Structures are given as C-alpha cells and as structure tokens.
Amino acid sequence: MSASPKIDLHTHSRESDGTQSPIELMAAAADAGVTALALTDHDSTAGWAAAAQNLHGVTLIPGIELSTRHRQMSVHILGYLFDPTDAELVAETLRIRSSRANRAQQIVSRLAVDYDLQWDDVLAQTVAGSTIGRPHIADAMIARGIFLDRAQAFESVLHWRSGYVHPHYAPEPLRGIELLVAAGGVPVLAHPATRGRDHVISEDALATLVDAGLFGLEIEHRLNTAEGITRLRELAKKYGLHTFGSSDYHGSGKPNQLGENTTAPDVLHAMLERSTGTEPVWA
C-alpha cells in the first residue's frame, strides 16, 4: 500500500530565514509525512544540492521565493523547476541578496544607537552565503535577551513603520516572472491576500502577470484572509490559474507546520509538464 500524497511546496531552510539546514528540513518533512517538498529559500538556490543528496524518502521539488516589489508593496513569487544556472536569474538573485546584506547592516547600525547589538551578532545567526533578512536581526536580538521570539521583534523594531527599517532592492513582479519563465521555471504568486494589504492584487496587474506566464496562486496559506481566499478562487477560475496550498514552514522561526496546507497531485503533474529548467529529485 502506498502512502497518500502530501505535497508541501513552500518551505525555508537556513540558506535563508528558516532555522534548519536543508538536510534537517528533509528529515523533518519525512517525519511530518510529507511525500513531496519544495525548498523555496528567499532569493537563493544554495540549499538544493544538500537537500537532493539527503531526501529521507521525500521527493524534492527545487524552488525559490523571489523577492519583488510593486508600488512599495512587497510581492513574493514562488518559482519551481527552473535552471539554477540561468545567467540572468543568477545575476538578479545576487543583486537582491547583496542589497539585502547592505540593508541589514544599515538597519543594525540604526538599532545599535538604541540597543546593545552589533553586526557580528547578526552574522552569528547566519550561515555563509545565505540570504539575510530581518529574521536574522530578530534572532540576534533574541540571543541578546532583547526579545523572546521573532514575532515580538517584528511587532516592534523590525516593523516597517518602526523607523529602523527600509526596503532592499527588488525587481518588479513582471520582471521576476519573466526571469523565472525564461529559465524554464513555473511561477506562482505567494500568499497574495495577506492581512494588512489594502486589497488582493488588482485584476489588471494580475492579467499582465498571467500574460507573462504566471502559473498559479498560493491560496491556502495561513496569512491569506478568508475574504482574500474567496476572491483568489474567483480570479484563479477566471484566468485558468492553478491553485496551491502550502505551509511556508520556517522551522522554529514561525508557528507554521510542515504539511499544514497541501497542493493537489494533479497541480504538481501540470507543473512538471510546464517546466523545462530542471527535474524533481524523485525519492
């Protein structure tokens, strides 16, 4: 008897702001009964190789969560099964990661005026070459005893209105989708209806992204609002987009649990048919 599929296509490792190594993540996925897992670190593919060599019986879908921005609003785009050596995509993710590192240093120098915190404290919370973000600053402040958890840090000094934080470089969503498609990948809008946004992405903007090759919407995600989910389902139907459900697991950095939302097997199959950039690593 084969296990029923449990497909979770949005997770993070220590190569970005997850708290587990890619190997630990694959083991945790196996423990949670996940049968296919996408590793989607922010702006990085650095974890693919270690995960691929340590499947723990879980099929690996190589992926990324690309940072983009439209009119001051951060838009995350999940990309799957693209060629990780594509020169333009590599150059763009490098540019984002280096801007993230500069921005984090600037945030820390502002924080250092008011808190006992240094850049080395943040570096101590990261692995070499990983994508740096506010969660690592949070971890450094937790280690210093300033906050109890990441959520507390995000509610105060790491909030975008705190005065300490400014954005990093990010391309437009359209450019992000074009890059992923050109690299043979499959782009999906991550958590498009989170609380605090005025509205779900405008229909005009969505139509433009669909024309560029947008494949799906991440609908079942704990941060999408109930009203937003209803609207996303209508939009998915109207534009022929596939619907995804995922955990956005970050290890102990967030309460999200592996497999808390899942994607249907036929969506994964459609994704395999669309992609030309790289193959899954079958368990």
**Which one of Fe ion, ligand AMP, Zn ion, none is in contact with 14 (Cβ closer than 5 to 8 A by kind)?**
none
- Least Å distance between CB 87 and ligand AMP? 24
Report what 154 binds from Zn ion, Fe ion, ligand AMP, none; CB cut-off 5-8 Å by kind: ligand AMP
Instruction: Tell me whether strands 36-39 and 7-11 are parallel, antiparallel or unpaired.
Output: parallel
φ and ψ at 90, to 5 degrees? -60, -45
Distance, CA of 281 to CA of 173 (rounded, Å): 28
Nearer of residues 190 and 258 to Fe ion, judged by Cβ: 190
Helix (H, G, I), strand (E, B) or coil at 90: helix
182 CB-contact burial (10 Å; exposed 0-12 / middle 13-18 / buried 19+) = middle
Q: Which stretch binds ligand AMP (CB under 6 A): 85-93, 148-156, 182-190, 238-246?
A: 148-156
> Which contacts of 142-145 are long-range, i.e. CB under 8 A and separated by 24 or more positions?
144/115, 144/116, 144/117
Cα–Cα distance between 280 and 51 in angstroms, integer?
11
Task: Fill in the DSSP letter of residue 184.
Answer: T
Phi, psi of 249 (to 5 degrees): -65, 135
Q: Which is nearer to Zn ion, 13 or 243 (CB)?
A: 13
Answer for the pair 13, 41: CB distance below 8 angstroms, yes or no. Answer: yes
Q: Is 253 in the site for ligand AMP (CB under 6 A)?
A: yes
Of the pair 221, 274, the CB lying nearest Fe ion is at 221
Please report whether residue 154 would count as binding ligand AMP according to CB under 6 A: yes
Task: Answer yes or no whether residue 242 interacts with ligand AMP by CB under 6 A.
Answer: no
Query: What is the nearest approach in angstroms of Zn ion to the Cβ of residue 74?
Result: 11
* 228 lies in the site for ligand AMP, by CB under 6 A: no
Site for ligand AMP in 11-30 (CB under 6 A): 17
Q: Which is nearer to Fe ion, 132 or 190 (CB)?
A: 190
Q: Contact with Fe ion (CB under 5 A): which of 76, 100, 136, 221?
A: 76
Q: Which residues in the 7-46 window bind Zn ion by CB under 5 A?
A: 17
* Residues in the chain, total: 283
Using CB under 6 A, which of the segments 2-10, 18-26, 56-64, 247-255 binds ligand AMP?
Answer: 247-255
Alpha carbon distance 207, 66 (integer Å): 19
Tokens of 203: 């229909």
Which spans of this chain sit near ligand AMP (rule: CB under 6 A)? 17, 42, 133-135, 150-151, 154, 250, 253-254
Binding footprint of Zn ion on the chain (CB under 5 A): 17
